[in-house]
Amino acid sequence: MNSSKLVELLKERLPSKELEWRFDRKTDKVRLEHSVLKKGMDISLPEILAKYETKQESAINEVIYTIKETFNAMEIEQSEGFSKEGAIYPVIRSTSFPQTSKAGNRFIVKDHTAETRIFYALDLGTTYRLIDETMLDALGMSEQEIMESAMFKVRSLPTNMKKDEVADNVFYFVNNNDGYDASRILNQAFLKEMEGEIEGHMTVSVPHQDVLIIGDIRNDTGYDVLAQMTMQFFTVGAVPVTSLSFIYEDGKLEPIFIMAKNRVARKERKKK
């Protein structure tokens, strides 16, 4: 499949008189404009095509879902405005993720690790909206209050896990598909509780926003398994974060590089 065929397929799957499609072959992007909302979104086609190679129909379903939910969120915002009572959660993004919206408004962010940054989101039910500086007055909250509210809410998220054992190493997967799985990395009480269950070295990974992986690494093979696992998750994730993992020690997260078989290097902690 090429970009032109992908655009035609998306048009067929999203029939709407309200959507105007503009395909820019030079940038390999398509721009969708909603005639009623007077708002739009850009879609990068190469990323979707790459996922289509491995995920086929599910890759198409993901982008269609994203488009629908994005415009639904815009409609809610326009018709109802923002509610101060709405739930606010932290979301984890890579440090390369833009810190301003398409309209040029600064997002509310906080440094986390050398690989990750914390953004804040207003939950809208089936989707969420990243909070930028223009929303503070409508929410009636300061940046500090946004951050405190989000950290309180993340502690209320369930931490149900699936467990897998590979070559005597144990891996725990948090995958609730609620948009905030990676955000559980900010729940210090949860990480501390898990630390008490770990027999080897405790690792924490957030390859994309919809999974948190905790590793109980008991031998050298475990690091090789972890590297392959996080790279696979990073590649297929709808919102990739980082393929690097972290060692969890003394309440701190330290990025590690798994350079070759049975060789692990630690990255210097980012000074706060």
pLDDT tens-digit series, residues 68-87 = 877 776 776 665 555 544 58
The closest alpha carbon to 226, from 204, 248, 211, belongs to 204
Q: How many CB atoms are located within 10 Å of the residue 120 CB?
A: 23
Residue 44 lies in a domain: yes
Residue 94 lies in a domain: yes
Residue 69 lies in a domain: yes
Distance of CA 151 to the CA centre of its chain: 16
Cα separation, 46 vs 29, whole angstroms = 8
Return the higher-pLDDT residue of 72 and 181: 181
Residue 266 confidence (pLDDT) above 60? no
Tokens coding 200: 């080897």
Cα separation, 117 vs 92, whole angstroms = 6
Among residues 154, 180, 195, the one where a domain terminates is 154
Judge if 147 and 198 occupy the same domain. no
The closest alpha carbon to 150, from 120, 108, 130, belongs to 120
Q: Please report the pLDDT score of residue 270 as a whole number.
A: 40
Mean pLDDT of the region 215-241: 93
Q: Mean of the per-residue pLDDT values for the chain?
A: 86
Cα separation, 68 vs 81, whole angstroms = 19
Judge if 259 and 168 occupy the same domain. yes
Residue 29 lies in a domain: yes
Rounded (5°) CA angle 152-157-159: 130
Q: Which domain holds residue 249?
A: 162-266
Instruction: Answer for the pair 217, 169: CB distance below 8 angstroms, yes or no.
Output: yes
Judge if 51 and 69 occupy the same domain. yes
> Would you place residue 44 in the very low, low, confident or very high pLDDT band (cuts 50, 70, 90)?
confident
Tokens coding 45: 């086609």
Q: Please report the pLDDT score of residue 79 as a whole number.
A: 55
Residue 272 lies in a domain: no
Judge if 209 and 254 occupy the same domain. yes
Residue 261 confidence (pLDDT) above 60? no
> Would you place residue 188 in the very low, low, confident or very high pLDDT band (cuts 50, 70, 90)?
very high
Cα separation, 272 vs 268, whole angstroms = 12
Judge if 7 and 24 occupy the same domain. yes
Cα separation, 112 vs 211, whole angstroms = 17
Mean pLDDT of the region 176-204: 95
Indicate the pTM of the whole model. 0.70
Judge if 146 and 192 occupy the same domain. no
Mean pLDDT of the region 159-168: 95
Judge if 95 and 136 occupy the same domain. yes
Residue 122 lies in a domain: yes
Give the tens place of pLDDT for each residue, 89-143: 999 999 999 999 877 889 999 999 999 999 999 887 777 889 988 888 767 789 9
Among residues 154, 171, 192, the one where a domain terminates is 154
Judge if 54 and 148 occupy the same domain. no
Among residues 80, 101, 124, the one where a domain terminates is 80
Residue 66 lies in a domain: yes
For the chain, the distance separating the N- and C-terminal CA atoms, rounded to the nearest angstrom, is 47
Cα separation, 143 vs 130, whole angstroms = 13
What's the total number of domains in the chain? 3
Residue 271 lies in a domain: no
Cα separation, 85 vs 41, whole angstroms = 27
Q: Which residue is listed with tokens 């992908």?
A: 6
Judge if 171 and 252 occupy the same domain. yes
Give the tens place of pLDDT for each residue, 6-16: 889 998 888 88
Which range is least confidently modeled, 80-84, 162-166, 232-236? 80-84
Tokens coding 40: 């739009």
Judge if 120 and 183 occupy the same domain. no
Give the tens place of pLDDT for each residue, 223-233: 999 999 999 99
Judge if 67 and 97 occupy the same domain. no
Judge if 222 and 255 occupy the same domain. yes
